[in-house]
Amino acid sequence: MSVKVNLEEQFARFFDTWSPKIIADLDDYQIKLTRLAGDFPWHTHGDADEMFFIVEGNLRLEFRDGVQTLGPGELIVIPKGVEHRPVANEGEVKVLLIEHKDVVNTGDGPVSAHTKAAERLS
């Protein structure tokens, strides 16, 4: 049976940042929510694309060849292998992510204090 998900209710269940929460599964992908504040290390995901959909706030995505700024209702797909760095320096940003189930949030880089396994909110 399909289960509907209310994003506001799910965001109200957690307040930590840079720690993705799984809210649904889609074949071999997971739909995650996360809160972002400050900046994140440069990284790549060599084996999978990554989609950011901005629910609230403004996110700057830095790439080695430029910058994209996203606001509420906008999304971007980062192709596998593209080095990027999310930056949320204008206040907190609420993001919906669609990522392959095996994706690590810090990508192909070394494990660091930013590396977090996604937790299921159900």
Residue 84, domain member (yes or no): yes
Tell me the two tokens of residue 74. Answer: 């906008």
Give the CATH number of the domain where residue 22 resides.
2.60.120.10
Residue 119, domain member (yes or no): no
Tell me the two tokens of residue 19. Answer: 């720690």
Residue with tokens 């937790």: 119
Question: Tens digits of per-residue pLDDT, 22-31?
Answer: 999 999 999 9
Question: Tens digits of per-residue pLDDT, 32-45?
Answer: 999 999 999 999 99
Query: Are residues 106 and 39 in contact, defined by beta-carbon separation less than 8 angstroms?
Result: no
Tell me the two tokens of residue 63. Answer: 């790439």
pLDDT greater than 90 at residue 113? no
Residue 29, domain member (yes or no): yes
pTM of the full predicted structure?
Answer: 0.92
Domain count, the chain: 1
Residue 13, domain member (yes or no): yes
Which candidate, 107, 103, 111, 104, places its Cα nearest to that of 43?
A: 107
Q: Which of 68-72, 85-89, 96-100, 107-111 has the lowest mean pLDDT?
A: 107-111
